[in-house]
Amino acid sequence: MKFLKSKFFEFNSYKIKLMLKNFTYFKVLKNFIKGSFLSLLLILGYRQIPFESNYEIVHGENPLNTFIKTHLLPLDYIPTFYMPTCLAQMIYNETKTIPEVKYERLYISTYDEGVISLDFVVKSSANENSANTINTNFHQQEPPFGKFQEQSIGDEDDKILVILHGLTGGSEATYIREIIMKFRNIEKLKIVVVNYRGISGSPLLTPLIYHAGFYDDLYEAMKFIREKYPNLRCYTLGTSMGANIFTKLIGNCHEFDDYIKGFIAISNPFNCTEVERRNRNGILDRFIIRRQIRYIQMHKSALKDVFDYNKISQVKLYRHFDELFTCKLFGFKTVEEYYEKSSSYKDLPNIKVPSIFINSKDDMLSSIDSFDTKICKNKNLILKKLS
C-alpha cells in the first residue's frame, strides 16, 4: 500500500512538473508570436512611416462647410509609427482588447416579418444590473444586453446618434465600441447601434439578409427612431458598408432630411465595382469571404431554400459569393449590375443632409480621388482625405 501511495505521489509530482514546463514553453511561444506580430507590422509599414499629418479637404461652398473646415477637420491624425498602413491596422484590430460597452436591446419588426435590433448604449451612471443577459441563444461574443429600460439609456436626452456597422460586425465589433467610447461622455446624447438581420445575435427569421446597397431595413429603423424620439436632434454615422448604405438612404429617401441634422461617413467604399476589382483574390477579399460564409453557416436553417450551402462554402472569391448568393437572393441579373446599383457615389449629388466623409487615401476598400467633383458640386458635402 505504501508502495502504491509513493508511486501515486511520484506520478502526480511528475505531471505537475511537466505542466509547469509546458506552461513555460507556452509563455515563450506566446512572446515569440507577439514579437513576430510586431515585426510583421513594422515590415508592412516601414516604407510609409509618417512624421506629420497630411490631409486634403474637399467641399462644396457654404458657411457650415467653411466653419467645419476651419475649426474641426484640421485636427491632426498621425498613425502609430509601427502601424501606418491600413493592412497593419486591420490585423491589429482583430487582436486588441475590446472596450466594454453595455447595451439594452430593442427588436423591431420589418415589412416582411423579419427582425432587426437596436442596441442602446447604457449610460455610465445607470444601474449596472440593468444590462444582464436576456437571451441565451446569442453567440459567445454577444454584448451584455438587458431588458429595455428608458431611464438607463437616458430619458432626458436632447439628441441621438444612430450608428450603422460595416459588413463584418455589429454592436459587438471593436471599432463600433471604440466609436461609442468617443461619444458616450457627451451630455444628453443617446447612442443606438442598428444591427442588420442576423448580426450580433439578432435572429434571422426570413430568408432575406442585407447587401452593400440594401437600405430598406435602415429605413425601418430610422422611421421607428423618428417616431419614438421626434423631438431629439438626430445625427447619424456609418462605417464602411454602413456608410455606403446610409449614403444611399439619404441620397434616395428625403423624408428624413429635416430629422437628420448631420451625417458622418467613415471609409465609405463609394464604388463597389472598383472595390471588388482592387481587392480580388487579395487578403481582404479572403477575409471578407470567410466572414460571410461563417454568417451563412450560422443562419443555414433560415436560408436553406435559397442556396446550396456546400457550393457556397467552397467559394474562394467574394465576387463568386455574390454571383451564387447575393444576386440570386435579391434578383440581380449579373454581379456587375449588383455592384453598380449598390454603389453610393451616384447618390452624392442628391444628398440634402449636411454630411462629412472621412477616407484614407490608402484605404483598401475605397478609391476616393475620383469623387472630388461630385463632392464640390453639392454644398452639403465635405470630404477629408487622409494620407
For residues 25 and 29, give the distance between their C-alpha atoms in angstroms, rounded to a whole number.
6
- Has residue 314 been placed in a domain? no
- Ranking 137-146, 254-263, 297-306 by mean pLDDT, the lowest is 137-146
**Average model confidence (pLDDT) across the chain:** 77
- Has residue 248 been placed in a domain? yes
- Is the pLDDT assigned to residue 143 strictly greater than 50? no
For the chain, how many structural domains are there in total?
A: 2
160 and 267 assigned to the same domain? yes
38 and 170 assigned to the same domain? no
- Ranking 245-249, 304-308, 351-355 by mean pLDDT, the lowest is 304-308
pLDDT tens-digit readout, 163-201 = 999 987 899 998 899 999 999 889 899 999 999 999 988
Residue 278's pLDDT is 81
Residue ranges of the alpha helices (H) in 237-348?
A: 241-252, 272-279, 283-298, 300-303, 309-312, 318-321, 327-330, 335-342
- Has residue 218 been placed in a domain? yes
- Has residue 333 been placed in a domain? no
44 and 163 assigned to the same domain? no
- Has residue 147 been placed in a domain? yes
- Has residue 296 been placed in a domain? no
Work out the pLDDT band at 99, boundaries 50, 70, 90. Answer: confident
154 and 87 assigned to the same domain? yes
Q: Mean of the pLDDT values across residues 323-346?
A: 93
Residue ranges of the alpha helices (H) in 63-105?
A: 63-71, 86-93
DSSP track, 135-195:
-TTS-TT---EE---HHHH-TT-SEEEEEE--TT-STTSHHHHHHHHHHTTSTTEEEEEEE
69 and 37 assigned to the same domain? no
262 and 378 assigned to the same domain? yes
Residue 67's pLDDT is 73
Work out the pLDDT band at 144, boundaries 50, 70, 90. Answer: very low
259 and 186 assigned to the same domain? yes
24 and 119 assigned to the same domain? no
Residue 84's pLDDT is 66
39 and 71 assigned to the same domain? no
For residues 350 and 353, give the distance between their C-alpha atoms in angstroms, rounded to a whole number.
9
For residues 209 and 241, give the distance between their C-alpha atoms in angstroms, rounded to a whole number.
14
pLDDT tens-digit readout, 297-318 = 888 888 888 878 788 888 888 8
- Has residue 182 been placed in a domain? yes
Q: Which domain holds residue 15?
A: 2-48
Work out the pLDDT band at 125, boundaries 50, 70, 90. Answer: low
- Is the pLDDT assigned to residue 27 strictly greater than 60? no
12 and 154 assigned to the same domain? no
26 and 65 assigned to the same domain? no
- Has residue 209 been placed in a domain? yes
194 and 99 assigned to the same domain? yes
pTM of the model: 0.79
Q: What is the CATH number of the domain that holds 261?
A: 3.40.50.1820
Percent of the chain with pLDDT over 90: 35
